[in-house]
Amino acid sequence: MVPEIPTVAESGLPGFRSITWFAMVAPPGLPAPFAEKINRDVVESLKQPEVLDKLQRMTLEPMPGTPADAARFFDEETALWARVIQEKNVTAE
pLDDT tens-digit readout, 62-83: 999 998 999 999 999 999 999 9
Helices and strands (H, E) in the chain, number of each type: 3, 0
So where are the chain's domains? 32-86
From first to last of its 93 residues, the chain has per-residue pLDDT tens of 788 999 888 999 988 877 889 999 999 999 999 999 999 999 999 999 999 999 999 989 999 999 899 999 999 999 999 999 999 999 988
- Any residues with CB less than 8 A from the CB of 47 and at least 6 apart, and which? 64
- pTM for the model: 0.72
Instruction: Tell me the C-alpha distance between 89 and 83, whole Å.
Output: 10
